[in-house]
Amino acid sequence: MSYQYVLPGEIEKRSFEILTKELGDRKLLPENEPVIKRVIHTTADFDYVDNLVFSDGAVTKAVEAFKAGAGIVTDTQMALSGIHKSTLESFGGTARCFMSDPEVARLAKERQTTRAWVSMEEAARLPGRWVFAIGNAPTALIRLHELILEKKVDPVLVIGVPVGFVNVVESKEEILKDPVPYIVARGRKGGSNVAAAICNALLYTAAGRTL
């Protein structure tokens, strides 16, 4: 068999070397580079070099907030599962997802809307500072956008990376106009894995990890 033997701790390092080489002389803003590279590492999809857009200073603001104990709200159990919670918790933060909350399910049914929609309203009531990482549901991002405009929530950062075909592109474009720090994957692509990868890149930067 033709695979290379690579020590466990070396696999990630080697992967980043390969993808860095393939990025060639493409210039990335140093602040954003760990995020872009970790998303490519997670997806093997170089489209994200062009898709990912960052508001000015978004990465630095999120990293500083994590160091000060900010938490993460996300819209799927999959993203929650992929976030490196021990790093987050080392700074005092927690990760929350309201999608499986029975009260959220009840309210969504009653109001004929999505659980994602209601889950953002629940999250907006949390005390403290939060990064909102939306990797699946455009309805979560649309409701978050409205709550921002209604001044009912003031996120540290909006990670807007839902995936799919209905309202996905539109919901992301709205966030780009909002008065909040954002990291958005323009277009249809994204996902819970991308949301978790962006959170982890920020957390690792906060923790002083070089990859």
> Binding residues for a second copy, how many (CB under 8 A)?
47
3-state secondary structure the chain: CCCCCCCHHHHHHHHHHHHHHHHCCCCCCCCCHHHHHHHHHHHCCCCHHHHEEECCCHHHHHHHHHHCCCEEEECCHHHHHHCCHHHHHHCCCCEEECCCCHHHHHHHHHCCCCHHHHHHHHHHCCCCCEEEEECCCHHHHHHHHHHHHCCCCCCCEEEECCCCCCCHHHHHHHHHHCCCCEEEECCCCCCHHHHHHHHHHHHHHHCCCCC
Q: Which stretch binds a second copy (CB under 8 A): 25-33, 54-62, 136-144, 201-209?
A: 136-144
Answer yes or no whether residue 152 interacts with a second copy by CB under 8 A: no
Query: According to CB under 8 A, which one of 192, 199, 200, 201 is a site residue for a second copy?
Result: 192
Residue closer to a second copy, measured from CB, 55 or 139: 139
Answer yes or no whether residue 45 interacts with a second copy by CB under 8 A: yes
Q: Which residues of 59-90 are buried (b: 16+ CB within 10 A; e: fewer)?
A: bebbbebbeeebbbbbbbebbbebbbbebbee
Instruction: To the nearest 10°, report the CA torsion of 140, 146, 151, 157.
Output: 40
Amino acid in the structure at residue 185: A
Contact positions with a second copy (CB under 8 A) in 17-36: 18-19
Answer yes or no whether residue 151 interacts with a second copy by CB under 8 A: no
Answer yes or no whether residue 122 interacts with a second copy by CB under 8 A: no
> Which of 41, 67, 84, 186 does the annotation list as catalytic?
41
Q: Which stretch binds a second copy (CB under 8 A): 87-95, 124-132, 152-160, 181-189?
A: 181-189
Answer yes or no whether residue 53 interacts with a second copy by CB under 8 A: no
Q: Which stretch binds a second copy (CB under 8 A): 87-95, 106-114, 121-129, 199-207?
A: 106-114
Q: Shortest Cβ distance from residue 88 to a second copy (Å)?
A: 15
Is 145 one of the catalytic residues?
A: no
Q: Shortest Cβ distance from residue 59 to a second copy (Å)?
A: 23
Q: Mind telling me the catalytic residues? A: 41
Residues forming the site for a second copy (CB under 8 A): 1-4, 6-8, 11, 14-15, 18-19, 41-45, 77-78, 80-82, 108, 112-114, 138-139, 142, 145, 163-168, 170-171, 174, 187-193, 196
